Structure 1
Amino acid sequence: MRPCSTVMHLLLRCMRGCGRHSRSRMPRRLRQPVSYIKLIFKSLYFNSLTNSEVVLDCILEPVFWMVEVVTRWFGMVFVFLVVALTSSVVFIAYYCLLPLVLQTYSLGWMMWHICYGNWILVMIVFHYYKATNTPPGYPPKMKNEVPFVSFCKKCVIPKPARSHHCGICKTCILKMDHHCPWLNNCVGHYNHRYFFSFCVFLTLGCMYCSISGRNLFIDAYNAIDEISLPPYTYKDRMFHKSVIYMWVLTSTVSVALGALTLWHAVLITRGETSIERHINNKEAKRLGKRGKVYRNPFSYGKLNNWKVFFGVEKRSHWLTRVLLPSGHTPYGDGLTWDIYPLKKDMMPV
């Protein structure tokens, strides 16, 4: 029997049953409306495909909606916090640390601190701007324009491999990694490199400020009970508090963001995104029960995965595309992926 016939048959039985049980309890003119109301109520939750996961998704749907709305609204707040906190650290570094560097270190160390610090700052600003303003990539809406592997129920468009739907951006993203509230943007095929590079250089910058300002922090912390007394001036008190603020903030960020950066480095080495990591783990367990080994079809080998990620095609690109600001597009179009085994080194170095 077809599903629609089964549903109709069940609905008719419900109407007949409701009619029998209500004949002796209510006037005849109310039997049909009451039976119709019961029928509508039962039809709301009857579904031959319903299971515990569907019911749980329906129950949690308001929670998901609230999280999406809050995250979308707070995106601009998070971006403002990143800019404000980074600017405050840069101001303190130039106002407090740089004068001491110029007075204390030799010419060689002084030039190193100036060059390294400004290089880190340029890389942070460049990659954060590109990560927030570069669209992650969206699949075409026409079926004949994309080799799709599945269909998005929310966008009602075909999805190519490695694409996923973002509930916050309300669209599908090519090679989606995650939605980052600190960028107010999705991390996908076209801005994944900018996001990772921003994390790397911000971590290095915070470590640099934390290490460089360690002695100043110890001195300021030991004198925290004395700076409120004469002969310390208001400027001295602000200097000590600024140093403590900078050291605590940069040390905390370097640890937390450093752990996140290492996690993404592991994913890049394996040729995975954050979403694919969970999918691949489930698939590996499923095949492991059958005595089979799962192999990631999007991994080109550890070294090649890094070359593909950074767009390195020759040896000089490690300098011009990795260690210097570069706006080159990533490898591929995000729609098709070569799943066949590659040579040991597919790109020269």
Structure 2
Amino acid sequence: MSRWRRLSPTAARLFLRCLHLRPCSAWGGRGGRMTGRLKELWSYGRLLLKSLCFNALCNFDVFLDSIFEPVYWLVDHLTRWFGVVFVCLVILLTSSVLVIVYYFVLPLIISTYPAHWVTWHLCYGHWNLLMIVFHYYKAIRTSPGHPLQMKTDIPSVSICKKCIFPKPARTHHCSICNRCVLKMDHHCPWLNNCVGHLNHRYFFSFCLFMTMGCIYCSVSCWDMFVGAYNAVESYYQTPEPLFTFTEKLFHKCMIYLWVLTSSVAVALTGLTLWHAALITRGETSVERHINRKEARRLRDSGKVFRNPYNYGKVENWRIFFGVKKRSHWLTHVLLPSDHAPFGEGLTWDRSVYRRDPTAI
């Protein structure tokens, strides 16, 4: 009897009414009464089904998350393995461009260009290459920064549901690395590493200088690309071979070089501009989505959202690059530098990033 006490009053009434169902012969063909009984049975069945899976905390978002949970799991685990493949792909493509430049482009530039243009290409090209290699290596090898899980006195704003440890401000859990990351921006498969407090500058600098290098190659090799493209078209118009194997190899390498660098330049330009806008506003990629939701919520209630980590456009860039003096814009930004960022990433007090007037 205790089992039936669990039913709600509505379910109990429906069940008792269904117990008084008569045989079909007693209905005497009265279709209306038969339809009513079937509706009661259908309603009772639906009520029982809903009672089995009812959850007051469940909504449509939770339902979608539950459905896509296997997809999230698959992506997280595949990204860990494909991260190594992506890094090797970046190194392979960059190396192929360097081989073509050193084997074909530079000898042609040295032999045909004036002395001042040769000096420009040698100096700028090698400086850009040095910045790309340095920042990519540092972005891969530098830890993004993690909260110390053994210390219980670190300032925190919440508890990570997966790590079960205090989570400082601007810290988020990476499901791929399976750790909390200080000032997490995103997990980059091309680095096989998270982008966080300690390596965010390296990641952005790599994107910036790689974009500059691709644009430089595309512009510098435009005339060579046009000549190579016209030469390749002539292959199919004349039956007799007009070019040697070395010349054909040069033409195809020029087309490959220009198409690759132009495509990467277009993609990286958009990515670099997006992150530049985030840095200007004092946000990360994760915080961008959180702040938009919070701003929308406060706007509905007649309030204005203010980002607590926005110190001003110029000040945000100074803090991001770790600039303390004016000379640091040259030594810390335009030259390779492995200096640490401001603070430990645990607290975000304005006094930590306050400019020293005597240092400038």
| CA distance, structure 2, for counterparts of residue 53 and residue 159 of structure 1 | 25
Tell me the SS of whatever aligns to 1:145: coil
Q: Give the residue type in structure 2 aligned to 1:325.
A: P
How far off is 1:287 after superposition? 1.2
The equivalent position to 1:130 in structure 2, one of 135, 138, 148, is 138
Contact residue 297 and residue 339 of structure 1 kept, 8 A: no
Does 1:250 find its partner at 2:258? no
The equivalent position to 1:306 in structure 2, one of 289, 314, 317, is 317
1:294-326 CA-partner distances (Å, limit 9, x unpaired): 111001110010000000000110111000000
Q: Percent identity?
A: 61
Q: Give the residue type in structure 1 aligned to 2:268.
A: L
How far off is 1:142 after superposition? 3.9
Contact residue 173 and residue 188 of structure 1 kept, 8 A: yes
Contact residue 150 and residue 158 of structure 1 kept, 8 A: yes
| CA distance, structure 2, for counterparts of residue 108 and residue 177 of structure 1 | 42
Tell me the SS of whatever aligns to 1:224: helix
1:7-50 CA-partner distances (Å, limit 9, x unpaired): xx999726xx99xx8xx9xxxxxxxxxxxxxxxx9998454423
Does 1:203 find its partner at 2:211? yes
Q: 1:341 to 1:189 in 2, by over 3 A?
A: closer
Q: Give the residue type in structure 1 aligned to 2:165.
A: I
Equivalent residue, structure 2, for 1:234: 245
The equivalent position to 1:171 in structure 2, one of 146, 168, 179, is 179
Q: 1:109 to 1:213 in 2, by over 3 A?
A: same
Contact residue 300 and residue 341 of structure 1 kept, 8 A: no
Tell me the SS of whatever aligns to 2:234: coil
Contact residue 225 and residue 258 of structure 2 kept, 8 A: yes
Unaligned runs of 5+ in 2: 20-48
1:282-302 CA-partner distances (Å, limit 9, x unpaired): 111111122221111001110
1:318-340 CA-partner distances (Å, limit 9, x unpaired): 11100000000011111100268
Alignment of 1:33-182 (within 5 A): 45=53, 47-142=55-150, 144-182=152-190
1:57-93 CA-partner distances (Å, limit 9, x unpaired): 2221111001111111110110011000001111111
Q: 1:44 to 1:99 in 2, by over 3 A?
A: farther
| CA distance, structure 2, for counterparts of residue 298 and residue 176 of structure 1 | 14
Equivalent residue, structure 1, for 2:280: 269
| CA distance, structure 1, for counterparts of residue 274 and residue 54 of structure 2 | 44
How far off is 1:145 after superposition? 2.9
Root-mean-square deviation over aligned CA pairs: 2.7
1:90-134 CA-partner distances (Å, limit 9, x unpaired): 111111110111112221111111010000001000000000110
Unaligned runs of 5+ in 1: 1-8, 25-40
Contact residue 304 and residue 346 of structure 1 kept, 8 A: no
| CA distance, structure 1, for counterparts of residue 322 and residue 4 of structure 2 | 60
Equivalent residue, structure 2, for 1:315: 326
Q: 1:342 to 1:117 in 2, by over 3 A?
A: closer
Q: Give the residue type in structure 2 aligned to 1:326.
A: S
Tell me the SS of whatever aligns to 1:162: coil
Tell me the SS of whatever aligns to 1:225: helix
Contact residue 298 and residue 338 of structure 1 kept, 8 A: no
| CA distance, structure 2, for counterparts of residue 13 and residue 141 of structure 1 | 45
Give aligned pairs, total: 322
| CA distance, structure 2, for counterparts of residue 143 and residue 59 of structure 1 | 37
Contact residue 300 and residue 342 of structure 1 kept, 8 A: no
Equivalent residue, structure 2, for 1:13: 6
Contact residue 132 and residue 183 of structure 1 kept, 8 A: yes
In our comparison, the structure showing a higher alpha carbon Rg is 2
Does 1:189 find its partner at 2:197? yes
Tell me the SS of whatever aligns to 1:165: strand
How far off is 1:155 after superposition? 1.2
Contact residue 319 and residue 353 of structure 2 kept, 8 A: no
Tell me the SS of whatever aligns to 1:241: helix
Q: Give the residue type in structure 2 aligned to 1:127.
A: H
How far off is 1:346 after superposition? 6.5
Q: 1:12 to 1:152 in 2, by over 3 A?
A: farther
Q: Give the residue type in structure 2 aligned to 1:13.
A: R
